[in-house]
Chain A
Amino acid sequence: MNGAVWVYAVVPEPAGDNGTDLLSGDTTGVAGESVRLVAEGGLAAATGSVPLSDFAEEPLKEHLEDLRWLEAAARAHHQVIEELHRATDVVPLQFATVYHDDDAVRAVLAGRAGDFAAAFARTRGRDEWGVKAYVDPGAPAPAAEPEESGGGTPGTAYLLRRKAEQRSREDAYGRAEKRAEQLRAALADTAEQEVAHRPQDQRLAGYEGWMILNDSFLVPRAGAEDFSTCVTACREQFPDVRLEVSGPWPPYSFVGRENREERP
């Protein structure tokens, strides 16, 4: 076989037919290929046959450096997983998990069955919600003390002013951190798990101010309303913060980071 097999996600093996009800016929993957299931031991991997000309080690490495390719492929990867997530429980695989053939995929399903079972147990019937919080760093600090300009020379005044500026920036950092912790604590109340991501790149994500929080929360579907209410309450409680919610996402951030450290 002159190809490779890209794996998108693992789902419970659908009863009955070959899972055509999980994926609409026109779902295509990272290479524009149609997506199919490879089943083993009660699990099924959503896979696509992709050409080695693009997905062998060398060409794949090159593609990963090409941001247009990467964007299209990342969106396609996500699209497949999202469609599965709409239909069933899903454990997303990290982008660019590629095997030589279906047998290798079946071997992984069998060999890592325990990890998949654990991931399903954690995330079944749940969604990931993303929450970002922004503050305006230029917003006036509450009750700022006017700085003594001091008698001294112009040089001293300058240094004092610099010092005051630095202090007010540190204060703003401090307030932002405190705010982030308060938000995280409040939101975690209505979520089962919570993961902090890095603040996103300002220009890539196109925002102003400081992103003080970029977290994912794992929320049972039945608790989505409570989570939403909690977000609304946070907006009211912290009017200095702008909150942005995204989701529901497939549970990307909750399916097995503990494996991360084993990466070669």
Chain B
Amino acid sequence: MNQPAWTGPNSTRAPAQPGRGEPSSLADILERVLDKGIVIAGDIRVDLLDIELLTIKIRLIVASVDRAREMGIDWWEHDPALSSQERDVVEENRRLRRRVGDLEAERSAGPAQVTASGAEEATEPAAEEEHRRPEPAGEPDSRPDGGRSADRGRRP
């Protein structure tokens, strides 16, 4: 895996010779047009999908697309996977908050030895964290750089 590989708009040329026309890779384009470029508030406000969430969604699709095509299934075209995933997180948040609230109420209401550890568990932010950044099972190695990337996790 050592051969020179020039990819992208200019894949077969030396860099000093501008001359394009080759389609760039979708991943390269998306990470630039969605995540880069100067940011100016428009009149029409939309939240762009975070590139990381987007690739998760795309990964689901790419993983299934060939097999599904063979079977003549086209669910991915209308697949609400991501939004439903977000709903799940919101719902889980709400559930956890309610639980914490209940536990706190119980504790302040009376002698509540039972609840202290439960409350700690329920407030554990990792639950939310994990859902926001799901990593597919079986591929834990695809990101060896840990927290290195400069633009990782900037969005709240």
With A242-B2, A246-B10, A247-B9 already in contact, the answer to whether A94 and B44 are too (CB < 8 A) is no
Chain B residue nearest to A139 in the complex (CB)? B1
Determine if A246 and B7 form an interchain contact, defined as CB atoms under 8 angstroms apart: yes
* A253: Cβ under 8 A from any B Cβ: yes
A87-139 contacts to B (CB < 8 Å): 91-100, 104, 108, 112, 115-116, 119, 129-130, 134, 136-137
A205 CA / B63 CA spacing, docked (Å): 12
Determine if B48 and A64 form an interchain contact, defined as CB atoms under 8 angstroms apart: yes
Determine if A74 and B30 form an interchain contact, defined as CB atoms under 8 angstroms apart: yes
CB distance from B98 to the nearest CB of A (A): 28
Chain B residue nearest to A115 in the complex (CB)? B38
Mark the stretch among A11-19, A35-43, A221-229 that contacts chain B: A221-229
Determine if B10 and A247 form an interchain contact, defined as CB atoms under 8 angstroms apart: yes
A227 CA / B16 CA spacing, docked (Å): 9
With A94-B48, A177-B144 already in contact, the answer to whether A204 and B32 are too (CB < 8 A) is no
Q: A196-B151, A244-B6, A256-B38 are in contact. List 14 more A-B contacts (CB 8 A).
A: A4-B43, A74-B29, A74-B34, A94-B37, A94-B38, A97-B42, A112-B40, A129-B15, A169-B141, A198-B149, A199-B144, A202-B142, A246-B10, A260-B39
Residue numbers of B with Cβ under 8 A of A are: 1-11, 14-16, 18, 20, 23-49, 51-52, 55-59, 61-63, 76-77, 80, 82-83, 139, 141-146, 148-152, 154
Residue numbers of A with Cβ under 8 A of B are: 4, 7, 10, 55-57, 60-61, 64-68, 70-71, 74-75, 77-78, 81-82, 86, 91-100, 104, 108, 112, 115-116, 119, 129-130, 134, 136-137, 169, 172-173, 176-177, 180, 195-205, 208-214, 224-225, 227-228, 232, 235, 239, 242-249, 252-253, 255-257, 259-264
